[in-house]
Amino acid sequence: MLTISQTAEIIGVSIQTLRRWDDSGKLRSVRKKETGNRYYRRDDVEKFIKSNPKNLFGLAKKWTASKSEEDLPSAFYCQDISVFQARLSRLERDLGEIKRLNKIFPLISAITGEIGNNSFDHNLGNWPDIPGVFFAYDLSQGKIILADRGQGVLTTLKKVKPKLSNHQNALEVAFTEIISGRAPEYRGNGLKFVRNIIAANEISLFFQTGDAQLKIAKKNYNLKVEKSNVYIQGCLALIKF
């Protein structure tokens, strides 16, 4: 069982809102006594989040920006690559059923796969605290959200580009410079691939690592890297289509 404050943290609303929802029946609590403290079943909270996906991005951002290790609803948490892979196949199937995405759904699924796979490849054995990725999507709104609490782009890219000194430069390099050859590390041209796909299609991207964020508008090759007010531990991505 979760306390009301834990539930408020997970859903990303205030305790007052939860009390109101309890009274209105939107999300019922469980009480030992009629006037006792409100508790929430983990299953109920997860079901609620799944059926009210409006704030998935906020949930992911809060998770990766938090200084402490927070629990994620299991529906969105992929602790290893095999779970991620299985859910990616489900996404592929779900996208394939949307008529307007008929021609581009393999591309959406491919960039989602590359971003998620990057998280695992660059952090395997080196996760600072919680291993794995947040992976959720809301197809009615055309959104896919991925996040991790890994080392971030700067730390991983420094292994091949030791002169990189800040998150903004690292983010720019990750999306623009092709790293040729297979040494010194099997690594990343995945984000360049993502950029190429967006440049040619009706897909947009927001991506953040550390205190650097970028936006790529649909059918646009230009990058806009900015400093973010909120620092996040690993990476956070929002794909819209």
Binding site for another protein (CB under 8 A): 81, 85, 88-89, 92, 96, 103-104, 106-107, 109-110, 113-114, 117-118, 120-121, 178-182, 186, 189-190, 192-193, 196-197
Least distance in Å: CB of 100 to another protein?
Answer: 15
Closest CA to 144 of 195, 205, 103, 101: 205
Indicate the residue among 6 and 85 with the shorter CB distance to another protein. Answer: 85
Residue closer to another protein (CB basis): 65 or 88: 88
Euclidean distance between CA atoms 124 and 132, whole angstroms: 9
- Report yes or no: 123 and 142 within 8 Å, Cβ to Cβ: no
Shortest Cβ distance from residue 145 to another protein (Å)? Answer: 18
Cα–Cα dist 165/202, whole Å? 33
Residues 6+ apart with CB under 8 A from 156: 122, 123, 150, 187, 188
Q: Which of the 8 DSSP states describes residue 35?
A: T
Comparison of 18 and 88: residue with beta carbon closer to another protein: 88
SS3 149: coil
CA distance linking residue 85 with residue 82, whole number of Å: 5
Nearer to another protein, 162 or 181 (CB): 181
Q: Is the dihedral of CA 10, 15, 16, 21 positive or negative?
A: positive
Q: Judged by CB, which is closer to another protein: 9, or 148?
A: 148
CB of 135 to another protein, least distance (A): 13
Q: How far is the CB of 103 from another protein (least distance, A)?
A: 7
At its nearest, how many Å lie between another protein and the CB of residue 137?
A: 14
